[in-house]
């Protein structure tokens, strides 16, 4: 079905096209300023490092629900090979075939388009079969090192995991922000915990994929109002799936990526972080989540780390 007027109304309110100039290719990453990084570094107290990535493995989160997105296939191409002759130093090498968004990842600004356009009014047909993303590619992303804030929506609801049909609303984010005891600030990276990934960690890939809680159509305005630099969560689909409005697929993707120019991440494992934040009573930390610079990529695997 065509995008409804409600979508276009929200798109107009959150649109960042031209905000950082006509040539801008990084969107809300512009909000990660030197001052934002200094403030992020000041949150470190214990130096405790919490990894947030899932292992890259062939039986990973992808089930075939998303066509063409394959789990990592790891192949050895050399095993203890004495390439300089017998008795010399031997080498082992390996290769991987995988979808760039197969596991813990960032969606790049060219991952989706709508109405023939990408972020900053770039044409959608600038993504080509041979060149990939010829503009706005993931290699353009500047270092994602900033203050992270865990918005633990599941914990704010008193639950280990939100039910599959739960659409995370701005009111949910307000409640999680209150639990966190800190207001999300310009340049922050918001991590939204639903607890959905507990299905995958328990070995149930199908329940992890569908049905899934996720962000509602109303949440992009919340992130826009706070000038969030990027958003990630612990689900396969990011937004609620099946969609909250029948036959309106991936509207949150379109609002975040196309209208705001905001990176969004999926399949982030926030369970250990949730436990630690609750134990320490603080939900803000230094976050490092650098994009791998795949030239022309529409997304990238990422191995984020929270430092408390």
Q: What is the pLDDT of residue 67?
A: 87
Contact 244, 216 (CB under 8 A): yes
Q: What is the pLDDT of residue 65?
A: 83
Contact 61, 98 (CB under 8 A): no
**Cα separations (Å) of 191 from 68, 218, 230?**
27, 17, 9
Delineate the domains of the chain, giving CATH numbers in brackets.
5-66+99-307 (3.50.30.50)
Q: Give backbone dihedrals phi and psi of 307, rounded to 5 degrees, phi first.
A: -115, 115
Residue 59 CB contacts under 8 Å (≥ 6 apart), including other chains: 71, 205
Residue 231 CB contacts under 8 Å (≥ 6 apart), including other chains: 189, 190, 191, 192, 215, 223, 256, 262, 263, 264, 265
Q: What is the pLDDT of residue 167?
A: 98
At CA 104, angle to CA 100 and CA 110, rounded to 5?
A: 45
What single string gives the DSSP state of each residue in 262-284?
A: -EEEES---HHHHHHHHHHT--E
**Structural tokens at position 62:** 């992808």
Site of tokens 């919340």:
222
Of 101, 48, 44, 51, the C-alpha closest to 72 is 101
Phi-psi region of 263 (alpha: psi -120 to 50; beta: other; left: phi over 0): beta
Per-residue pLDDT of the chain (308 residues; tens, 9 = 90+): 689 999 999 999 999 999 999 999 999 999 999 999 999 999 999 999 999 999 999 999 999 888 889 999 999 999 999 999 999 999 999 999 999 999 999 999 999 999 999 999 999 999 999 999 999 999 999 999 999 999 999 999 999 999 999 999 999 999 999 999 999 999 999 999 999 999 999 999 999 999 999 999 999 999 999 999 999 999 999 999 999 998 899 999 999 999 999 999 999 999 999 999 999 999 999 999 999 999 999 999 999 999 99
Q: 192 - beta bridge partners?
A: 151, 233
**Structural tokens at position 143:** 């270092």
**Cα separations (Å) of 148 from 170, 205, 254, 273, 287?**
18, 27, 23, 11, 5
Longest dimension (CA), the chain: 71
What single string gives the DSSP state of each residue in 86-122?
A: TTS--EEEEEEE--TTSSSEEE-TTS--BTTEEGGGE
Q: What is the pLDDT of residue 1?
A: 66
Contact 156, 173 (CB under 8 A): no
Distance CA 125, CA 303 (A): 30
DSSP letter for 14, please. H
Query: H-helix or E-strand containing 13?
Result: helix 5-14
Query: H-helix or E-strand containing 192?
Result: strand 189-193
DSSP letter for 204, please. -
Contact 175, 153 (CB under 8 A): yes
Distance CA 217, CA 215 (A): 7
């Amino acid at each position: 079905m065509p995008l409804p007027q409600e979508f276009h109304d929200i798109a107009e309110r959150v649109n960042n096209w031209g905000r950082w100039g006509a040539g801008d290719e990084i969107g809300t990453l512009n909000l990660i300023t030197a001052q934002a990084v200094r403030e992020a570094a000041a949150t470190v107290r214990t130096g405790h490092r919490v990894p947030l990535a899932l292992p890259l493995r062939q039986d990973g989160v992808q089930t075939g629900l998303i066509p063409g997105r394959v789990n990592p296939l790891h192949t050895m191409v050399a095993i203890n090979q004495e390439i300089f002759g017998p008795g010399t130093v031997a080498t082992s090498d390996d290769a991987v075939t995988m979808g760039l968004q197969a596991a813990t990842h960032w969606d790049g600004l060219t991952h989706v388009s709508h109405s023939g356009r990408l972020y900053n009014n770039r044409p959608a047909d600038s993504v080509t079969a041979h060149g990939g993303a010829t503009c706005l590619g993931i290699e353009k992303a500047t270092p994602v090192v900033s203050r992270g804030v865990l918005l633990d929506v599941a914990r704010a609801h008193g639950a280990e995991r939100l039910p599959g049909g739960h659409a995370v609303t701005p009111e949910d984010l307000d409640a999680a922000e209150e639990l966190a005891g800190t207001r999300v600030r310009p340049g922050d990276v918001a991590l939204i915990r639903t607890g959905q990934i507990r299905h995958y960690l328990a070995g149930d890939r199908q329940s992890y994929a569908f049905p899934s809680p996720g962000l509602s159509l109303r949440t992009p305005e919340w992130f826009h109002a706070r000038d969030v630099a990027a958003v990630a969560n612990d689900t396969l689909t990011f937004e609620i799936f099946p969609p909250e409005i029948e036959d309106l697929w991936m509207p949150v993707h379109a609002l975040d990526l196309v209208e705001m120019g905001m990176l969004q991440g999926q399949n982030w494992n926030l369970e250990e972080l949730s436990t630690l934040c609750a134990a320490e009573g603080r939900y803000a930390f230094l976050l490092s989540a650098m994009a791998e610079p795949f030239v022309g990529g529409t997304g990238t695997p990422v191995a984020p780390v929270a430092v408390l």
